[in-house]
Amino acid sequence: MSGPDRPRTATVRVAATSANLGPGFDCLGLALDLHDDVVVTPGDRADGDSVDVTVTGEGAGVLPADSRHLVARAVRVATDALGHPRTPLSLTCTNRIPHGRGLGSSAAAVVAGLLAGRALVPGGRDRMTDDAVLALACELEGHPDNAAACLLGGLTLAWADGPDGPDVHAIRLELRPDLRATALVPSTELATETSRGLLPASVPHADAAHAAGRAALLVAALTGVPHDGLLLAATEDRLHQGYREPAMPATLALVAALRSAGQAAVVSGAGPTVLVLATGEAPAVTAPAGWRVLQLAPDRAAASVVVD
C-alpha cells in the first residue's frame, strides 16, 4: 500500500449498538452515542503479514495484540476480498464500548476493520458497497442487526435473502427526535454464543405472530407515531428474552421490575445489559449494586472513516 497517492492511515469511529429492542429479533438495531476509535496504519512491504495492536480502555491487557484481534481479522477480510496484497499492520484501538455486555462491541470491531480495510485499498470504496461490507460483517458476526446499526447509524432494519446464501441488506429509518435510552450495564460478561445457545429451534405460532405485530408496532413507536405509552407495549417480547433467563436471571428480573413500573425495558442484544427506552426526558431508573448506568442518546451518524 505504499506510494505517494495511496492512503497511509485509516481512522475509523464506530458506535455501540443495541439489537432486537425487544421483539425485533435479529433485524432491528439502534446505534448509541458511545464510540470506539480505531487507527490502522499499513506497513511498506507488500508481502508482510505481521500485526501489532495497541488497546486502551475496554479490553486492554486482555484482547490479543496480534493477527487474532478481531479488528485486524476484519481488515484482512476486506483487503483479501478486494484482492489486495497483505502488508504489515499497526492498529491502535481506543475502546469505550463494554465487552460481552450486549452493546455490540464485536460488531463495532468488525465494522471498524472492514471499513479501514476498504479505505486503505485504492478504489476500495467504489468496489465494495456498504451492502457488501454488511454481508462480510454478517459472515464474521453471524447476524446483521448490530453491524447494520453500527455501519449506518440511527435505527436500522436488516434482512437477508438470496437462493445461494445470505444476500444481506439494511435500511436506516428516521428516528423520532426525542428518543432517549438508558443502558444498565452489569459487571459480568456473557458470551453471545452462550445466550443464543438457549434459544429453541421453533416457537409457538402464537408467539411468532405476537412478535411480528409488536415489531411492527415498535417501528411505528420509534419513528414518531404519537401515542402515550406506545413504547411499553411495542417492546414486549415473547420470542427470545424468556428463553435466555437461565444465563442471566438478574437481567430478566430487572427487565420485569422495570416493565412493571411502566418503563420500556428490554434485554440489549444477547445481554446481559438492560436497555430502557423513553421519549422526552431520559428515563429515571435505579441500577442494582455493581451495575453502571449510562445515559445515552441515539447516534444518528454513520460510522466515519478518515484517510490520510
Do 152 and 86 share a structural domain? yes
CB 27 within 8 A of CB 12: no
Listed in sequence order, the residues at least 6 apart from 192 whose beta carbon sits closer than 8 Å to its beta carbon are: 102, 106, 269, 270
56-70, 174-188, 217-231: segment of lowest average pLDDT: 217-231
pLDDT of 284 strictly over 50: yes
Q: Is residue 127 part of a domain?
A: yes
Question: Does residue 143 share a domain with residue 23?
Answer: yes
Which has more confidence, 217 or 225? 217
Residue 16: predicted pLDDT: 98
Angle between helices 130-141 and 105-120 (to 10 degrees): 140
Q: Decide if 86 is inside a domain.
A: yes
Q: At what angle do helices 70-81 and 130-141 cross, to 10 degrees?
A: 130
For residues 189 and 60, what is the distance between their CA atoms, to the nearest angstrom?
A: 15
Examine the pLDDT at 3 and tell me if it is beyond 80. no
- pLDDT greater than 60 at residue 7: no
pLDDT at 1: 46
100 shares a domain with 53: yes
Please state, for a pLDDT cut of 90, what percent of the chain lies above it.
84
Q: What is the pLDDT of residue 185?
A: 97
In the structure grid, which three cell numbers stand for residue 93, read together?
484501538
**Within this chain, do residues 130 and 202 fall inside the same structural domain, yes or no?**
no
Query: Within a domain: residue 83?
Result: yes
* Each residue's pLDDT tens digit, 91-120: 999 999 999 999 999 999 999 999 999 999
Q: What is the 3-state secondary structure (H, E, C) of the chain?
A: CCCCCCCCCEEEEEEEEEEECCCEEEEEEEEEEEEEEEEEEECCCCCCCCEEEEEEECCCCCCCCCCCCHHHHHHHHHHHHCCCCCCCEEEEEEECCCCCCCCCHHHHHHHHHHHHHHHHCCCHHHHCCHHHHHHHHHHHHCCCHHHHHHHHCCEEEEEEECCCCCEEEEEEECCCCCEEEEEEECCCCCCHHHHHCCCCCCCCHHHHHHHHHHHHHHHHHHCCCCCCCHHHHHCCCCCCCHHHHHHCHHHHHHHHHHHHCCCEEEECCCCCCEEEEEECCCCCCCCCCCCEEEEECECCCCCEEEEC
CATH number at residue 166: 3.30.230.10
> Which range of residues forms the domain containing residue 288?
179-296
Residues 44 and 157 in one domain: yes
* Statement to judge: residues 20 and 143 lie in one domain: yes
227-242 pLDDT, tens digit per residue, is 767 999 999 999 999 9
* Residue 255 clears pLDDT 70, i.e. is over it: yes
Give the side-chain half-sphere CA count within 13 A for 16.
Answer: 28
For 240, the grid coordinates are 427470545
Alpha carbon 2 to chain centroid distance?
Answer: 32
**274 neighbors 254 (Cβ within 8 angstroms):** yes
Distance CA 211, CA 207 (A): 6
For 132-168, write each residue's pLDDT tens digit. 999 999 999 988 999 999 999 999 999 988 655 568 8
pTM of the predicted protein model: 0.93
Residues 130 and 183 in one domain: no
* Domain-located, residue 25: yes
Q: Which residues share a beta bridge with 12?
A: 38, 305
% of the chain exceeding 70 in pLDDT: 94
Stretch 23-36: mean pLDDT: 97
Given a cut of 80, is residue 125 above it in pLDDT? Answer: yes
Q: What is the chain's mean pLDDT, rounded?
A: 92
Domain check: are 129 and 196 in the same one? no
Q: Does 112 share its domain with 239?
A: no
Question: What's the CATH code of the domain at 227?
Answer: 3.30.70.890
Is 3 a domain residue?
no
Contact 37, 11 (CB under 8 A): yes
Q: What is the pLDDT of residues 156-215, one digit of tens each?
A: 999 988 655 568 899 999 999 999 999 999 999 998 889 989 999 999 999 999 999 999
Mean pLDDT (whole number) for 24-45? 94
Together in a domain, 38 and 165:
yes
What is the pLDDT averaged over residues 2-30? 87
Q: Which of 148, 110, 135 is nearest to 269 (CA)?
A: 148
Look at residue 187 and tell me if it is in a domain. yes
pLDDT of residue 43: 84
Q: Indicate if 92 and 33 belong to the same structural domain.
A: yes
In this structure, are 169 and 236 located in the same domain?
A: no
**pLDDT band (50, 70, 90) for residue 59:** very high
Residue 4 included in any domain: no
Structure confidence at residue 2 (pLDDT): 45
Q: Is residue 23 part of a domain?
A: yes
From 1-5, 78-82, 234-238, the region with the lowest mean pLDDT:
1-5
Quote the CA–CA distance of 265 and 294 in Å, as a whole number.
Answer: 14
Domain count, the chain: 2
